[in-house]
Every structure is written in structure tokens, then in C-alpha cells.
Chains A and B, each alone.
Chain A
Amino acid sequence: MASRTKATSGKSGKTSKSGDQAASNGTGTSTGYSKDQLLEMYRQMYLIRQFEVACGENYARGLIRGFLHLYIGQEATGVGTIAPLNDDDYIVTHYRDHGHAIARGLDVNRSMAELFGRKTGLSKGKGGSMHLFDAAKKFMGGHAIVGGQLPLALGLAFSQKYLDTKGVTVCYFGDGSTNQGLYHETLNLAAVWKVPMLFVLENNGYGMGSAVERVRAGSPDFYTDVEKYGIEAAVVDGMDVIAVREATEQAVKRLRAGDGPLFIEAKTFRYVGHSYADGQKYRGSEEIDEWRKRDPVEVYPQMLVKRDIATQKEIDDLKAAVDEEVVAAVKFAEESPQPDPDELFDDIYA
């Protein structure tokens, strides 16, 4: 994988630099993926988008309560990094976790029910939006303490190596968490122990309301720092699902061969506030509009049609099916029973 150099050709192949319009959204590359794979990536991105839109609507209706952090804008990063994984691999993520859960194939109905706090939710309503969890899918949760998931992921990767499972651990974190000491502690030990861990930095430019440059010394790039720990790192356009997937495939292949840890910085953006309650007073709408021009959920399907990979009808049919799926998930959640108060006392000790 490329490190230090801004251009990211290196061993990671077709990863592209953020802002490189020609290469973004696969328009400048010939993909090695089948039509089914390409359409599936679109289906997942569109599903995440619609799921998130439905979450916002149901928050406004008062059916989802508490703190709600939407993944709108970052879909290509989640989908592209999860596509290359298999059943042996662990995923550990942050509180903006709905997108990763959906890309990993967690049940959409039960995910929505968890957000509604219902008995049928993935964690029977105990966790809510920030704590989607599914042990069967090796989806080890959204974590609400910023940076708190990093050493946990290292522990999983350490045990995978110790137990020789051939699995890898992918850990997602945002730019905000890089200011926690745990970030540096985890990078250091992951490198010392050479664990099969993929650090995926979803750099959306803001830790809540604080722009990266206001709380970070030096370069706005993170990947360039990581080689100081002896970890190879790549930067990828997080709005380009194909570029993200290609970079991740390369990385995962190397991790399975014992060549870890590795690091990918995805340059991405959330079009919405940090949480549903965030009015985004700290930034202007021009910046949001600029990123929206490269919205993967809009641009990517246009590319598929333009390049005769799919017809507009196929895209429209797929969207209609997803729309129905999301409506059904909301209905499932809304009609699901509330948890029993007695369940409070389940799962405290063995």
C-alpha cells in the first residue's frame, strides 16, 4: 500500500485521491467487478441512504428517541470496505454505525427495531442507535465512547492471530477519535504485535462541530503519520465505492497473509449534522453542496447506466425494491412489542 506519497497508486492499485474527479466513482477506471457485484454495491448504498432518511423521519415523529447519528454521505466507505470481508472477519465500529451494520448484512428489520427500542431489536432494545450488535455476523458493535473501540479491535485481532483463525478485524473510527491517546496506543501495539487489523479512518472533516484543522497540528492528512508506527497506509476517495473496495481488497489479502496491520484513510463527508440535534452552525452550506456533487448514491448509478453496465430500469427497479424494504422495516419496528421491564435483569452476570 502506498504511504507518504500523495498519489496512492503503489501496491494498493487504483485507489484515488480525494478530489480527483476523473477517477472518482469508477468513471476513470475499468472495474474488475461483475454486474451483480456492481449492482449489489449500489443496492447497499441506496439501502443505507433510505434507511437513514427513514430514521430521521421517525425521529421527527418521536418514534426514535435519544441520540441519532446518520451515515448520510459516507455510504461508499462502509459498503466498499465491507464487501471484501468474509464470515471469519470481525467488524468494530463507532456510534455512526447503521451503515456498517447494513453493509454487513445485519437484519434491516431488527436494526430498525433496535432504534425504536423494541423487543425485536438486535439487542432487544437495550442498545439503540449507537450500539447495533450481532455476534453471529461478527459485528462487534457500534461504540459510543469516541476512540474506545480501537483497543477492543486490537484485542480481537490479537486473538485472531493467536488462535490462527485467518480472520481479520476491521476497525472504523473518525477523525475526532485520533485525538484520543488510545488511537496512538493502539497503532503502536498493533504494529509491535503485527496483528491482522485494518484501521479504517472515516475522515469526514469534522469531530462533531470541530473542523479537523482546528484541533489537529500539521497536515490535514492522517495516513502520512501512520508509517511512523511502521504501518503502511493508503488514502482513498471515500465517495468512490469502487476505489474503496479495491483498496480494501488489497489490504485484506495482505492481512490474511500475515502482513498486518494496515491503514486506510477514506476522505468522506456527512451531509447532515453530527447528530439529529446538530444545526451545523459551524459550517457553510457551500461545503456541503460541493461534496454533494460527488454523492455516491447519485453519481455511481449514473455511471453504471452511462457505461451500459445496467439499464435505468434495472436501477429504478432496484430502488423500488429497497424503498419497499425500508417501509417494511419501519412497519416491523413500529408494530413490534416493547421489551418487558423484567428483561432489565437479564445478562448482568454469567
Chain B
Amino acid sequence: MSQMTVIEAVRDAIRGEMRADPNIFIMGEDVAYRGGVFLATDGLVKEFGDARVMDTPLAESSLAGIALGAAVNGMRPIAEIQFADFVWPAINQVVGEAARVRYGTNGRKFAPLTVRVPYGGGVRGGLYHSQSIEVLFAHTPGLKVVAPSTPYDAKGLLISAIRDDDPVIFLEHKKTYRLVRGEVPDEPYTEPIGKADVKREGGDITVITYGLMVHYVLQAAEELARADGVNALVMDLRTLRPLDRESICAAARHTGKVLVVQEDTPAVSVSSEVLAIIAEEAFFDLDAPVMRFGPPELPAMPFSPVQEAAYMPSPEKILAAMRRLAAM
């Protein structure tokens, strides 16, 4: 076991898998000699050489398409999109092509491709370096979408993503990269894609979330228990497609009161889907209307630190929402 940050866990997962499987390579803007803009791939070019750790030009559509082509021929590419905000030119290749390979070839071909996408705000990134882009991918059948929150989950889920025979969008929250530390086994291991994880047990209310918000919700939950004596069950979705319907409904039934917290704007989002599942399958076990909490419906995250703080969900704002739910 070692203490690692999220970004160290990401690097550790890639390094271990590349040692084990020569068909794995990583490509992206400045991933080789600069080690990636966040240093996720720092040092990898030294160990594996620039035929397996490849700098590509600023051309996301080509990056995704090339990775897809290589994947269809049996390789296991890892494509790094520098910032989630830059992923849109790759949509044709990911949503339009990668998601449909298996379906469109009657299962004769498939695309074991991992697209790593650093996303999320709270880093003063402003309008074009802060976005949450998960919804479009999570909406697309044929893709898997993974969003870990801890170093342990990041390593185990990234290894699962690389070994998975279908395209996986792997979302890494930028703010968790160096903020969150934890125990990580040194050897490779997998965590299952499609399984949520209860990060805190509790019997009074259920809070379902993912990404950076897991940590904010956990902070709020401790304060709620300390100050109000209300115990929250905190569920980390970890995978946004396919959603873990069974665990979501079990958690909803356990307390009868559900709040979904997310950093992305709420309308037509992951929380919409989670609450639809609960309404479909656990409605008669609820003791209160379902609730959700997210940022205001704005086109982008403003740059000004004051406005960014006003936009971003925080432990304090989440605590207030949890108190409203608990009082119902």
C-alpha cells in the first residue's frame, strides 16, 4: 500500500497496465515530453519510449479517431483529452463512431478504447477550462462512462477501463487530482465498472453523488451528524453509464429520503436519470419528494473567483440542502 493522490493513482494504473500489455499505448497533446498538462503521464515516455507515449498535435477529432482505428485492430489505446472543454471536436468519433462499432458490425469488431478526460471546476479555469461534459457521453448507448472520486477507485476503475472491451470515457476531476489522497495497493487490481459504492453508511437520508462532490457531501454529512444527529448514507455512483440501478434503489429504500448532488447543471442530467430510476422502481418506498442540488443553470462557469464560488456547490450549500431534506 502507498499513499497516493488521484493523479498518482492514474499514473500508477497506466504504468502497470503498459508494463503488462504491449498493445496499450497512450496518446494526447503534450503527454510525452511534457508529461501531460496535469502531469498524469509524467515519466512514462522515459520508461516506454515515444512509440508508446505519443505527443499528438492539437487535433482532438483526429486523436479520438486514430485511437478508435487502432482499437478496432486489437490495440488498447488510451487517448488523453487535455481538458474536457476541448472534447467537442472528438464527438463525431466517440459518440458517432466508437459507440456503434460493436452494434454496427454484428459484434464482429469492437473498440477497447479508453478516453481520459480531465473535467470539472473550482480551479479558476473560467469559461473554457471548467466544464462538466458527462451528460452527452452518459446519454450514449454503446459507451461506458466512469467518474471515480478517490485514488483507490481511480486506479481500480482505470485498470478496468483499459481492460474493458468497449469504449470507456474515463472522467478525472481536475480538482481531485492533488486534493484527494488515500491508500492505494501497489499491485494492479480492478474495481467493477457499473457498480456504485457506499462511501458512508447512514439511516436517515440518502445522498447520491459522484466526482469531486463525493468529498463535499462527505464533509457535509459529518457536520450533519455532529450538529443535527442526522445520519446520511452517501453513495458514490462511480459509473455514470451504465448506472447501478439496483444499488441506487436499495439506497433510496434504505432511508426513504433521497438527494442527488452534482456539479453539472441539473436540467437533463445524471441527477435527472437517477431520480427517474428511483421514481420508476422505488416510488412507494419514499417518505419525501426526491430532491437534487446543483449549480445554477448558467452557460459556463464564470472566471471571477467570487462568482465561481457562487456557482460551485460547496459543502455548506450541500449541508443546507441535506437539512431541507432531513426536515421533510
Contacts and interface: CB of A to CB of B under 8 A. Distances in A.
A: interface residue count bin: 35 or more
Contacts of B34: 208-210, 278, 281-282
Given A66-B129, A117-B306, A345-B298, A176 B57 contact: yes
Interface of A: 65-67, 117-118, 121, 124-131, 144-147, 176-177, 179-181, 207-210, 214-216, 278, 281-282, 338-339, 341, 343-345, 348
B57 A339 contact: no
Given A147-B58, A180-B58, A210-B57, A338 B33 contact: no
Contacts of A348: 297-299
Given A145-B85, A179-B59, A209-B33, A344 B124 contact: no
B58 A179 contact: yes
Interface of B: 29-30, 33-35, 37, 55-59, 61-62, 85-86, 89, 123-129, 296-299, 302-307, 310-311
B303 A131 contact: yes
A212 B290 CA distance: 54
Interface of B is mostly: loop
Which 8 pairs of residues, A with B, have the shortest CB-CB distance? Answer: A128-B303, A179-B57, A125-B304, A66-B124, A117-B304, A209-B34, A144-B128, A341-B310
A184 to B, nearest CB: 11
Contacts of A339: 302, 304, 306-307
A118 B304 CA distance: 7
B62 to A, nearest CB: 8
A128 B121 CA distance: 15
Given A128-B303, A144-B128, 8 more contacts: A117-B305, A125-B307, A126-B302, A131-B303, A145-B128, A181-B62, A207-B57, A207-B58
Nearest to A128: B303
A344 B125 contact: no
Contact of A127 (B127, B310, B311): B127
Contacts of A129: 126, 303
Contacts of A117: 303-307
A176 B302 CA distance: 26
A154 to B, nearest CB: 17
Contacts of B307: 117, 125-126, 339, 341, 343-344
Interface centre among A147, A208, A345 (most CB of B within 10 A): A208
A117 B303 CA distance: 6
Contacts of B302: 125-126, 339, 344
A252 B59 CA distance: 30
B55 A210 contact: yes
A181 B90 CA distance: 11
Contacts of B30: 208-210
B29 A208 contact: yes
Contact of B89 (A131, A180, A207, A341): A180
A67 B129 CA distance: 9
Contacts of A345: 296, 298
A214 B45 CA distance: 15
27 contacts: A66-B126, A66-B129, A117-B305, A117-B307, A121-B304, A125-B306, A128-B304, A129-B303, A130-B127, A144-B127, A145-B85, A145-B86, A176-B57, A177-B58, A179-B58, A179-B59, A181-B59, A181-B89, A208-B29, A209-B34, A210-B30, A216-B57, A281-B35, A338-B306, A339-B307, A345-B298, A348-B299
Given A208-B30, A344-B310, A348-B298, A65 B305 contact: yes
Contacts of A210: 29-30, 33-34, 55, 57
